[in-house]
């Protein structure tokens, strides 16, 4: 008899604990995203489409060192390097990337390229709408990845989703 009462009390306590969690969640603010009617919010660390950054003078930070491509496990970064000249200066270093493509049909958003970059030229933005029926559209060129803003100025469009 004593064991039955003990079992009953144990079950009642378990139900009460479970219902406590339920009521607590009912009182919590909703976390449902209203996408696509409202842009979703992301954690700062979210790894979305990459952004090629500029320095405070508006020059491209990428110096075409190829370290990002060398560290990419998916081999999805393609770079062609060119020399800066006195007449034409694109980046702060000796070289710049005349071509910088990322193939998003292969990218796994591991972030190794970001970790490898010695100049913080490549970062993850918060853009995520990449779905396509045509994989050729998933090759993003430098012109699409490059931020329009110099460092320290207003955030580029693809970063504004975070706010």
Min dist. Cβ of residue 75 to ligand SF4 (A):
8
Pick the binder of ligand SF4 from 39, 55, 119, 139 (CB under 6 A): 119
108 binds ligand SF4 (CB under 6 A): yes
Q: Does 82 bind ligand SF4 (CB under 6 A)?
A: no
74 binds ligand SF4 (CB under 6 A): yes
Query: Which of these segments, 29-37, 106-114, 130-138, 149-157, binds ligand SF4 (CB under 6 A)?
Result: 106-114
Contact call for residue 42 and ligand SF4 (CB under 6 A): no
For ligand SF4, which is the closer residue by CB, 60 or 161? 60
> According to CB under 6 A, which one of 51, 59, 72, 146 is a site residue for ligand SF4?
72
Under the criterion CB under 6 A, does residue 62 sit at the interface with ligand SF4?
yes
Residue whose CB is less far from ligand SF4, 97 or 161: 97
Q: Does 90 bind ligand SF4 (CB under 6 A)?
A: no
Q: Secondary structure of the chain in the HEC alphabet? A: CHHHHHHHHHHHHHHHHHHHHHHHHHHCCCCCCCCCCCCCCCCCCCCCCEEECECCCCCECCCCCCHHHHHCCCCCEEEEEEECCCCCCCECCCEEEEEEEEECCCCCCCCHHHHHCCCCCEEECCCCCCCCCCHHHHEECHHHHECCCCCCCCCCHHHHCCC
- Tokens 């449902």, located at residue: 32
Which residue's entry shows tokens 């079950």? 11
The binding site for ligand SF4 (CB under 6 A) comprises: 62-68, 71-74, 76-77, 79, 97, 102, 107-113, 116-117, 119, 121-122
């Amino acid at each position: 008899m004593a064991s039955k009462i003990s079992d009953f009390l144990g079950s009642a306590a378990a139900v009460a604990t479970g219902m406590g969690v339920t009521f607590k969640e009912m009182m919590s603010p909703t976390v449902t995203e209203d996408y696509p009617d409202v842009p979703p919010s992301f954690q700062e660390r979210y790894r979305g489409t990459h952004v090629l950054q500029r320095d405070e003078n508006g020059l491209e930070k990428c110096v075409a060192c190829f370290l990002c491509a060398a560290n990419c496990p998916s081999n999805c970064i393609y770079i062609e390097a060119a020399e800066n000249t006195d007449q034409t200066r694109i980046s702060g270093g000796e070289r710049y990337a005349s071509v910088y493509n990322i193939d998003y049909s292969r990218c796994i958003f591991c972030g190794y390229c970001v970790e490898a970059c010695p100049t913080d030229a490549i970062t993850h933005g918060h853009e995520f709408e990449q779905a396509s029926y045509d994989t050729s559209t998933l090759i993003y060129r430098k012109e699409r990845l490059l931020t329009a803003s110099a460092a320290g100025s207003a955030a580029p469009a693809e970063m504004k989703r975070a706010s």
